[in-house]
Chains A and B, each alone.
Chain A
Amino acid sequence: MAEAAMQLDDIPATPAIEIENVSVTFGQGQNQVRAIDRISLDVRDGEFLTLIGHSGCGKSTLLRVIADIIKPTEGRVQVLGALPEKARRARQFSMVFQQPTLLPWASVIDNVSLPFKVGGASAAGDQAMDPAEALRLVELDGFENALPAELSGGMKQRVSIARALVTRPRILLMDEPFSALDELVRDMLNIELLKIWKRSGTTVVFVTHSLQEAAFLSQRVVVMGRRPSRIAGVLDIDLPEERNQKLKDAPELGRYVAALRALLDEG
């Protein structure tokens, strides 16, 4: 038994995302701004990893490099062993933005089905989820025909999470998805997100500027320093797998928050 465990540990698991010496520079000539500077990071398969840092530290930029929205100026990124562009075309990852980013003229169910309607529906494949099931997963069944304007902020963000899950992505990229919501809704969605992550086995890369949210959600938190940004430190969060509302106020979470704050101040 112990031997088997040893063997499993010995097998080097291929990381879901490999980031090697990645730098991003915006602008030309004198107006050049280096957003991130030679960052290297591996995201393990199935891991919940959070990027945290001061605003403008380049955490969203790094996420956009993974999502193939921004090309790195230097360095190399591999998503599931391929270039980000290939992973994007194969629908290996989904992205959730800070704003719900819904089509205001389309119903909830049409918004959730959008990934199947554009970019060559064949990419969806057999493993895709029924849009109605995705809505059930975010507890929005019954709102299929509502328009986004009829929903609250939290409900809209749930719709955008359902849209991200509907392709059953191997990786979920989330750019401050709950930062525009009030604290009560944020707490609730944190717990729901953890449930979804558990059930789906997806790798999650989560960007936030809330220390508490980072510590509560993650297995590992990457703290990014000030611009031009490098990694200031990585903190493993060794909290029980089952995380609930009680943990939000628990002293052990507070200790992690304090440790993260110390790392941020150093960076």
Chain B
Amino acid sequence: MSIANTSDVKTSDMTVFASIGQFAGVARPVVMGLLGLFVLLALWQFLIWVLETPVYLVPAPSDVALAVRNDFALLASSSVPTITEAFLGFLLGNCIAILVAASFVYAKLIEEMFYPVAIIIKTIPIVAIAPVLKIMLGNGIEPKVVVAALICFFPTLVNAVRGFRAVDPQLVELMHVLSASKTEVFMRVRLQSALPYIFSALKISVTMCVLGAIVGEWIGANHGIGYLLIQSMYEFDTPRLFASILTASFIAITGFAIVSVLEKIVIRWDAASVT
């Protein structure tokens, strides 16, 4: 009787494990991630409570949540210029990077001359370029867009060059036998082959361009998330400072999600088979 009972318990355990297994496939990463975040926040809240840390030094998660609620309108209106600058910079930087990459692939001389220049530009810290751009371009949206564009440029350039070169040589032979023009080879073969490479660069640069826009705002702006960060710092409004950081991170994550969805739509074929 007791033996029968234990075996019953075992089978019910097995079904529980099986259902965890199924759940693991879809939602597990999300749930586990949220759980980890929750544990850290709880620990943070607990430490602030135990150590009685003043709010202006380090706010508790509950203080930040309150700031998000109270300053929601301000955070939202500050996001608009930052998103605009980041988006325009993203477009500008990536378009130029892809065009330059294409010119590198078709003209070896251009690559030999300008790849080193691109690397030099890359090695200059972006915060060092920002003041120069402010002098050159003024206090408007332009220097912020350019900083965001600069930060996007390099990863996309490198990946697009690799992508344009990663084309199957037999496909190029086929296009030759079909008497395809250089433009046709580029549009129908090279560009498509490079898309998986370009998208992995876009996923990096979409988060970087938000950083670029914020750095641009630091050196001279009267609105935007970057401005709000500096302002909150001067006013010792630490909960709002944290809420601004949260907003910037939210913008970047949303951008990343949009690019990932676009990638799924545009690259329907199996990227692994592109060899």
Contacts and interface: CB of A to CB of B under 8 A. Distances in A.
Contacts of B268: 105, 147
Interface centre among A69, A101, A105, A117 (most CB of B within 10 A): A105
B179 A103 contact: no
A67 B178 CA distance: 10
Interface in A79-109: 88-89, 91, 93-95, 97-99, 101, 103-105
Chain A: interface secondary structure? loop
A114 interface: yes
Given A147-B269, A149-B269, A103 B192 contact: yes
Interface in B125-181: 168, 170-171, 173-181
Contacts of B273: 104, 148-149
A118 B184 contact: yes
B259 to A, nearest CB: 18
A266 B184 CA distance: 46
A162 to B, nearest CB: 14
Interface string A115-128: 10111100100000
24 contacts: A67-B177, A68-B177, A69-B173, A88-B179, A89-B179, A95-B173, A97-B173, A98-B170, A101-B168, A101-B170, A103-B171, A103-B189, A103-B192, A104-B273, A105-B192, A105-B268, A114-B178, A118-B175, A118-B180, A118-B184, A119-B179, A147-B270, A148-B269, A149-B273
Contacts, number: 66
B181 to A, nearest CB: 7
A103 B188 contact: yes
Given A101-B173, A114-B178, 9 more contacts: A64-B173, A94-B177, A95-B173, A104-B269, A104-B273, A118-B184, A120-B179, A123-B179, A147-B269
Contacts of A98: 170
B35 interface: no
A247 to B, nearest CB: 32
B267 interface: yes
A117 B192 CA distance: 16
Contacts of B204: none
B178 A118 contact: yes
A101 B179 contact: no
A97 B173 CA distance: 9
Contact of B269 (A64, A69, A97, A105): A105
B269 A95 contact: no
Interface string B243-275: 000000000000000000000000111100110
Nearest to B272: A149
Contacts of B174: 95, 97, 101
Contacts of A95: 173-174, 177
Interface residues of B, number: 23
Contacts of A114: 178, 188
Nearest to A163: B174
Contact of B177 (A88, A104, A123, A149): A88
A95 B171 CA distance: 12
In order of increasing CB-CB distance, the 3 nearest A-B pairs are A119-B179, A118-B180, A149-B270
B180 A119 contact: yes
A267 to B, nearest CB: 27
B266 to A, nearest CB: 9
Interface residues of A, number: 27
A93 B189 CA distance: 22
Contacts of A91: 179
Given A95-B174, A101-B170, A118 B269 contact: no
Nearest to B271: A104
B198 to A, nearest CB: 13
A69 B192 contact: no
A173 B163 CA distance: 30
A119 B192 CA distance: 18
A103 B187 CA distance: 12
B27 to A, nearest CB: 27
Contacts of A117: 188
Interface in B46-87: none
Contact of A104 (B176, B184, B188, B274): B274
Nearest to B267: A105
A244 B73 CA distance: 79
Contacts of A67: 177
Nearest to A67: B177
A266 B270 CA distance: 47
A67 B175 CA distance: 12
Contacts of B173: 64, 69, 95, 97, 101
Nearest to A167: B178
B270 A119 contact: no
A99 B177 contact: no
A61 B228 CA distance: 67
